[in-house]
Structure 1
Amino acid sequence: MTPKNKEKPKHLGRGLESLLGPIINTVQENMDASMSPEVPNYIPDKDLQKSIAELSLDDIAPNPYQPRQTWNDQQLHDLASSIRENGIIQPIIVRQKGDKYEIVAGERRFRAAGIAGLQKIPAMVRTTTDSEMLALALVENIHRADLNPVEKARAYQSFMKTFNLTQEQAAQKLGQDRSVVANYIRLLNLPSEVKQMLVEGSLDMGHARALLALPTDDLRKRLANRALAGRLSVREVERLVRLALTAGDEKKQKQIIEKPAHIKDLEEKIRSRLGTKVSIQARKNGQRGRIIIEFYSLDEFDNIAQMLGVSSD
């Protein structure tokens, strides 16, 4: 017997065809090319080439529904270097807005083209609605590693609101597990200070998910600050959360989450002696732990080593 073909796994954006129609295929085909500074291997067919125009960068505005709020300068400059050497083979996609244009997909190439000093860029002009703009921007960005968790969460939320979808429906449309969408959406419940730590990369998703189990924003901020200052691992944060949740009243929870006063005092004394930031991290039983001594230059490292009686030769 010939075994039945297994159902192919969902791919991002395929479910969007029911919302957007054939335009999603054009974006989906050129997504991989736009993610790398290397020359794209996708060449538009003759029908698409007929609709490609050379547009002035000054006449193009970014996608107003772009979920990405931060851009990696090094990656943009790497892409710009490739563009200077090879040009832009893969056109961006735009829509007309009055006598100007708005980017539908390809904002990284647009930004890199400006850095590369180009005055014009090849573009395919398409007719798209605001809802399609949001969906296509989400599809182009959602699997990029450098889209930070808060940007991703806000993109999912906007997508659900625009198309009036539940988390389950949004996950189906985007080829994602519902738990993935739910975990990102929950990040928006964190206090703004903690969300900013996620944006900056000071905390990661694991830290954030552990913090969400705490009952108040105050406790979440306190533990986030301790995790940041002490460079706590996700497991260490999870352990503190578990201890806090079994402590009963909020006063006891704060005592567990915050570093003990005598540890802070010891840190300050060592810092004064060495002239640099010091963090003491005690383990659960208080009998083990580690001391982290920071340095910010090789000269500072040598000075610390000398104070500790260690030769760096």
Structure 2
Amino acid sequence: MEEPTILGFERELPIEKIEPITDLNVRTIGVHKGLEQLAASIKQLGVLQPVSVIQKDGTYELFVGQRRYLASLQAGRKTIPAIVYAPMNKINARIRSMSENIQRRALDPEDTGEVCYELYRREKNLSRVAELLGVSIPTVTKYLGYRTLPDWLKQIVLERGITVTKAVTFWNFAQHDETKVRALVERLPSMTKPEIDRLLIFFEASPEEDADLLVEKAKKQRVLRRVIIHLPPRYALGLSNAAVAKDAEPEDIARHAVMDWLEENGYV
């Protein structure tokens, strides 16, 4: 992606000369949610982060910062700090909007999934999508997976009943068996976080096992055998780097590495 030209940093622009362009801004869900609180904060503290606009014939097209713009209007501001860009094509403007919103985790999972899908459909390469958005490949994969979830499971995610990562993990382990996933997810409110973590471990190992039995095992087995591995500094650093690159916990990477080795060598 060609870097667009910046014409000015944090210039105070008249709000009346700014026009929000909806097809350039990737946020479509929750735009007006919490605007009153944001407007109150802007009245007290001002706009702490500038919006991004494209200069066009004496006016400006807004492509990053839609909520800050709307809240500033509501707060009665006459100007707003902005980064001003030279004219750029629609694709580059949308990519910059996508990147900022995803890195700030400001998007609804549905919007994030659509962002990743739109770029993947254009680039046909996960690494390229991750590079453009400034996120890890597992993050892109996770949100592409979110798009395949049934609506009822997405709703549970939106209600904070389950994280995107766990919802996609359950869905993938069940090979999109909706009945199996529903049977497991319905039991999650009565389970502790360690029990849910154990449930995922057991489910990954035996995806065909009955849901009731998996939950029973996860609740009953309070302690999994714990093995402490002391790694030389070089390998400890490598594990940390892998965790960052894979957007995963170091323990999960180490656990999967050991499990894969045991399977490959015929010990399980």
How high is the TM-score relative to the length of structure 1? 0.55
Q: Is the 8 A contact 1:55 1:122 kept in 2?
A: no
Instruction: Return closer, same or farther for 1:184/1:88 CA change in 2, 3 Å cut-off.
Output: closer
Moved more, 92-101 or 177-186: 92-101
Give 3-state SS (helix, strand or coil) of 1:103's partner. strand
Choose which of 126, 129, 133 in structure 1 pairs with 2:89.
Answer: 129
How many residues in Structure 1 have an aligned counterpart in Structure 2? 217
Residue number in structure 2 paired with 1:187: 146
Choose which of 218, 238, 241 in structure 1 pairs with 2:200.
Answer: 238
Give 3-state SS (helix, strand or coil) of 1:189's partner. coil
Choose which of 27, 40, 58 in structure 2 pairs with 1:81.
Answer: 40
Q: Is the 8 A contact 2:113 2:147 kept in 1?
A: yes
Instruction: Return closer, same or farther for 1:245/1:67 CA change in 2, 3 Å cut-off.
Output: same
Supply the distance in 1 between the matched residues of 2:156 and 2:125 (Cα, whole angstroms): 28
Supply the distance in 1 between the matched residues of 2:129 and 2:24 (Cα, whole angstroms): 21
- Cα deviation, 1:9-39, whole Å, max 9, x if unaligned, reads xxxxxxxxxx13234x78xxxxxxxxxxxxx
Supply the distance in 2 between the matched residues of 1:171 and 1:21 (Cα, whole angstroms): 17
Residue number in structure 1 paired with 2:4: 22
1:60 aligns with 2:42: no
Supply the distance in 1 between the matched residues of 2:56 and 2:81 (Cα, whole angstroms): 17
**AA partner of residue 214 (structure 1):** A
Deviation at 1:194, TM superposition (A): 0.8
Matches within 5 A, 1:209-248: 209-211=168-170, 212-215=172-175, 216-227=177-188, 229-233=189-193, 234-239=196-201, 241-242=203-204, 245-247=207-209
Instruction: Return closer, same or farther for 1:171/1:92 CA change in 2, 3 Å cut-off.
Output: closer
**AA partner of residue 127 (structure 1):** P
Give 3-state SS (helix, strand or coil) of 1:283's partner. helix
Residue number in structure 1 paired with 2:219: 283
Q: Is the 8 A contact 1:60 1:100 kept in 2?
A: no
Give ranges in structure 1 of 5+ residues lacking alignment. Answer: 1-18, 27-43, 248-252, 260-280, 287-313
Choose which of 146, 155, 160 in structure 1 pairs with 2:120.
Answer: 160
Instruction: Return closer, same or farther for 1:223/1:100 CA change in 2, 3 Å cut-off.
Output: farther
Instruction: Return closer, same or farther for 1:60/1:173 CA change in 2, 3 Å cut-off.
Output: closer
Choose which of 93, 100, 104 in structure 2 pairs with 1:144.
Answer: 104
- Cα deviation, 1:71-109, whole Å, max 9, x if unaligned, reads 5855x4454234324544765333479998642112231
How high is the TM-score relative to the length of structure 2? 0.63
Instruction: Return closer, same or farther for 1:243/1:59 CA change in 2, 3 Å cut-off.
Output: closer
Residue number in structure 2 paired with 1:296: none
Supply the distance in 2 between the matched residues of 1:89 and 1:239 (Cα, whole angstroms): 43
**AA partner of residue 142 (structure 1):** I
Give 3-state SS (helix, strand or coil) of 1:142's partner. helix
Residue number in structure 1 paired with 2:256: none
Instruction: Return closer, same or farther for 1:171/1:59 CA change in 2, 3 Å cut-off.
Output: closer
Deviation at 1:138, TM superposition (A): 0.9
Give 3-state SS (helix, strand or coil) of 2:120's partner. helix
Q: CA RMSD in A?
A: 3.9
Give 3-state SS (helix, strand or coil) of 1:56's partner. helix
Deviation at 1:176, TM superposition (A): 3.2
Give 3-state SS (helix, strand or coil) of 1:20's partner. coil
Give ranges in structure 2 of 5+ residues lacking alignment. Answer: 223-268
**AA partner of residue 235 (structure 1):** D
**AA partner of residue 154 (structure 1):** E
